[in-house]
Structure 1
């Protein structure tokens, strides 16, 4: 078995300013932009964990909690929270920052699954994740249930294909 890695080793942080072209008619960032940023941050975190190419296998959730407005910064942090043999779960936290006051607020959270690939494009074995902090342990302990939910959802979708 490969030596484990701490979630902090995959930590990926990305910040950008929200400008008018990034927003809808409400003056808030397009949800699709947030989705793309989440996927990019999660991809980098996954690659940092396994040091291999990865593909997005699923996006369990993207829960929008509050909007990000023009002129605020969007701040994303992603970490690998759980691994199986060739796949890994990544958690991404999205915050808005008022750049004049420094106040930050949670705006979205997301769990995604990635599969590592070998040079032939086939699933590749990855190191396990070893949680160390209380927050990392909390994500890790809930991951098995999220995995089972993903598997049931995939099976239901297979059963209902036309």
Structure 2
């Protein structure tokens, strides 16, 4: 149908959804899995992005996730709390759109609310008739010219970073026999998952949220093996979706420690996919990201993390790169703190 006048003007309404956190959303201590939150964020982004891109004439389309910017888990969520997810389109280019999502945690018993998570996601609209055809995105109206300019800068930066990430895709190293405790090999973990129809979009490609949930699960196993304590997701560096994963593919999700500070662990998570049906079962890298986990005591206070034993030049290189990211993020946090004081 023809778009309404408000849609033609490009004004996009926000989307809100609430969901009660259940026992199957959490670990044995009652902390909600970071992957569950990521999945909810992606669903909200996909709905608002798809709705917006279908306000124009032409092919019907579906918003496909291509990148999630750095995401901070500001507070852990618990079973029995309600997650209120709000999504808003904050920038559109010709073929992509940025959706900013916030998760507010509400304690039903006390009525207390807190911002648990916020994230920025980038989507590309793909035609339902032909998945390879990328559709135009209807423009949105900006409150100010400065708001549009800031959005354009974020768009250029993520485009550049996506290209850089494609250029440095590391291979997964097989596990050594009988690895020593606190080494990379000791905690490295993999999960193998056959993509079912329930994991997929209308295009028969895996939902970004499903992949992120699997990635968080693997990163959590790595972190737990290293510390043997309650662990939670603290943040995720940008998640890049390099290639689509189709129904019937087998995905191998591998996590390995790259850097450990006194109180945090950085875990690189790599998702490789290969078709189960096709004769050429070539593996390809589909998604990559760095997850940061922290270890908590019974009062949810951060615990010291055991040091990582480095073996070989490759591990040393990854450790130094992880340390650089850690120091850069620490400097950013301090700068933000000072700005708000």
Under a length normalisation based on structure 2, what TM-score does the superposition of the two structures give?
Answer: 0.44
Whether 2:261 is the aligned partner of 1:88: answer: no
How far has the Cα of 1:102 moved from its partner? 3.4
2:230 to 53, 58, 77: 53
Q: 1:130 to 1:103 in 2, by over 3 A?
A: same
Map 1:2-151 onto structure 2 (within 5 A): 5-100=182-277, 101-151=280-330
How far has the Cα of 1:88 moved from its partner? 0.7
* Aligned mates of 1:148, 1:48 — CA distance in 2: 25
SS of residue in 2 equivalent to 1:137: helix
- Greater CA drift, 140-149 or 152-161: 152-161
Higher Rg of the two aligned structures: 2
Q: 1:153 to 1:21 in 2, by over 3 A?
A: farther
How far has the Cα of 1:43 moved from its partner? 0.8
8 Å contact 1:61–1:112 — kept in the other structure?
no
Under a length normalisation based on structure 1, what TM-score does the superposition of the two structures give?
Answer: 0.88
How far has the Cα of 1:121 moved from its partner? 2.0
How far has the Cα of 1:124 moved from its partner? 1.0
Q: CA RMSD in A?
A: 2.0
Q: 1:142 to 1:29 in 2, by over 3 A?
A: same
* Aligned mates of 2:254, 2:338 — CA distance in 1: 35
More relative contact order in 1 or in 2 (CA 8 Å, sep 6+)? 1
Aligned residues: 159
